[in-house]
Amino acid sequence: MYSIDAGLEALGRHPGPLLGYLAALPVVTVAIGLPVRAASKNAAAVFATIPTHLAVLQGVSVLGVLAYSAFFLHQNLLALNVFVHYAPLLSAVAALAASNAVAPFDAQPGFDRLSGLCMLAALAFGAFFVLDRLHFFAGVFMSLASLTGIFLGLCAIARLAMKRVRGPE
């Protein structure tokens, strides 16, 4: 049977391709980005969006897996495979630093929308965590309609909070 857990175990047994990608992301960002920046700052900003988005998606995904492992599976985070669970975070940080060296984040198109993606991932994880903890109440006292209402209410609260954080546009 194919599962995410089986895929993570396979990556842990054979981490070569994963480590190659993780090392290549920041290195290729600098190797290609700096010559592009020397030619044109606008082209560098457009180029830098690719590794920035890859790094953010990679980081959010790995943080989701780590949070799931800790909160749902109750695994010891110190016992997890370093190559599979922690190297992607280091690679994401290095790729973001390299991308920022190529072009500042403010100049990169679409960078302001990544905070919404991170907020959506955090909100979805929080909702799943609450639903997991309320498994007894969800089955006995709450209907699917009320759970949907609670989720939509949390989304509305998060949207208002993001508007307050960002301020008037």
Domain assignment of residue 80, given as a range: 4-108
Instruction: Let me know if residue 156 belongs to a domain.
Output: no
Q: How confident is the model at residue 137 (pLDDT cuts 50, 70, 90)?
A: low
Instruction: Let me know if residue 148 belongs to a domain.
Output: no
Instruction: Let me know if residue 28 belongs to a domain.
Output: yes
Instruction: Let me know if residue 91 belongs to a domain.
Output: yes
Q: What is the pLDDT of residue 160?
A: 81
pLDDT surpassing 60 at residue 169: no
Instruction: Let me know if residue 62 belongs to a domain.
Output: yes
Q: Of 77, 66, 63, which Cα lies nearest the Cα of 117?
A: 63
Instruction: Let me know if residue 155 belongs to a domain.
Output: no
Instruction: Let me know if residue 127 belongs to a domain.
Output: no
Three-state secondary structure readout of 7-70: HHHHHHHCCHHHHHHHHHHHHHHHHHHHHHHHHCHHHHHHHHHHHHHHHHHHHHHHHHHHHHHH
Taking only the tens place, the pLDDT of each residue in 2-38 is 777 788 888 889 999 999 999 999 999 999 999 999 9
Taking only the tens place, the pLDDT of each residue in 98-112 is 999 999 999 999 888
- Number of structural domains (the chain) is 1
Q: What is the pLDDT of residue 150?
A: 75
Taking only the tens place, the pLDDT of each residue in 42-98 is 999 999 999 999 999 999 889 888 888 888 788 888 888 899 999 999 999 999 999
- Classified as helix, coil or strand, 1 is coil
- In the predicted model, what is the mean pLDDT of residues 136-143? 58
Q: What is the pLDDT of residue 153?
A: 83
